[in-house]
Amino acid sequence: MENFTTIETGGKAEYEIQRSRFIAEAAHAATEEEARAFLLSCRKRYYDARHNPSAWVLGAGSEKQKSNDDGEPGGTAGNPILEAIKKRGLVDTVVVVTRYFGGIKLGAGGLIRAYGHAAHLALEASALVRCQKLFRLAVTVDYTLLALVENFVRQENLRTEDTVYEENVTLPLLLEEQQLAPIRTALTDLAAGRAAFEERGTVWCRAAVEKASSRKNERL
């Protein structure tokens, strides 16, 4: 998987229904050890709570998924938390939802909705980041072609790294894989065959994810 979205800064949210109080916290976790450590920290923080269900999704391809009901009826807590993470398409993410029982039973359906909604609120409160794998393509031309190439880069809205000015000038481009061939062909034609190319591996680029208004308006 070349691109993925994860948590950059974890969020926290509280939700109350039928006197039961749900405290949901989300965090970034790159490994199971980190996810378990976050779960343990929540359990210590809310040591007097009856339940601390959790779930996490790890790996760029969501290879590792786990949920725990922590004493709630099977499938009513951990799984809806897990589904909230998956619904947002997040990886390397852990969510813990602590419940303080208010004396009124919610029933299986009520628990599923409450845990899922609390997890959603915590994820909504988190700052997300999109990680994208880009390919470095260095384009070297002589100075007479520099303005032409720079104009092309601006028109195509291409991402670049710092230009290197030596005997010739080299512009390191950051491209998605599907851009490599067409951009190389276009620049070859533009420079009338006088451009040299060198692929220099890959780099991960990060960009903040804007929250959609529809997600903000989601209701239980």
Per-residue model confidence (pLDDT) at position 205: 86
Give residue 2's pLDDT band: very low, low, confident or very high (50, 70, 90). low
Rounded to whole angstroms, the Cα distance separating 95 from 118 reads 10
The pLDDT of residue 204 is 84
Please report the pLDDT score of residue 92 as a whole number. Answer: 95
> Given this model, what pLDDT does residue 218 score?
43
Least Cα distance to 96 among 74, 118, 112, 114 occurs for: 118
pLDDT digits (tens, 9 = 90+) for 124-171: 999 999 898 899 999 999 999 999 999 999 999 999 999 999 999 999
Q: pLDDT tens across 29-41, in order? A: 999 999 999 999 9
Is pLDDT of 213 > 90?
Answer: no
DSSP element (H, E) containing 144: none
68: pLDDT strictly greater than 90: yes
Q: What is the pLDDT of residue 211?
A: 64
